[in-house]
Amino acid sequence: MTGAILANSFKAALKRGEKQIGLWLAMADSYSAEICAGSGFDWLLLDGEHSPLDLRTMLAQLQSVAPYPAHAVVRPPTGDPVLIKQMLDIGAQSLLIPMVETPQQADMLVRATRYPPHGFRGVGAGIARAARWGRVGDYLDRANDEVCLLLQVETRAGLDNLEAIAATEGVDGVFLGAADLSASLGHIGQPQHPEVVAAMERAIATILAHGKAPGLLATDESVAASSLAQGARFVAVGVDALLLVKATQDLARRFKADAPASSGPSPY
CATH superfamily assigned to domain 9-255? Phosphoenolpyruvate-binding domains (3.20.20.60)
Domain ranges within the chain, ordered by starting residue: 9-255
Query: Which residues does 246 contact at the CB level (< 8 Å), separation at least 6?
Result: 262, 263
Q: Is 45 helix (H, G, I), strand (E, B) or coil?
A: strand
Taking the model in full, what pTM does it have?
0.95
Query: Which residues does 94 contact at the CB level (< 8 Å), separation at least 6?
Result: 8, 10, 11, 43, 71, 72, 73, 74, 147, 148, 149, 150
Q: How many CB atoms lie within 10 A of CB 162?
A: 23
Q: Which residues are identified as catalytic?
A: 50
**Paired strand residues for 232:** none
Helix 81-89 vs helix 103-112: angle between axes, to the nearest 10 degrees? 40
pLDDT in tens, 192-205: 999 999 999 999 99
The whole-number pLDDT of residue 2 equals 53
Q: Is 106 helix (H, G, I), strand (E, B) or coil?
A: helix
Is the pLDDT higher at 1 or at 169? Answer: 169
pLDDT in tens, 64-87: 999 999 999 999 999 999 999 999
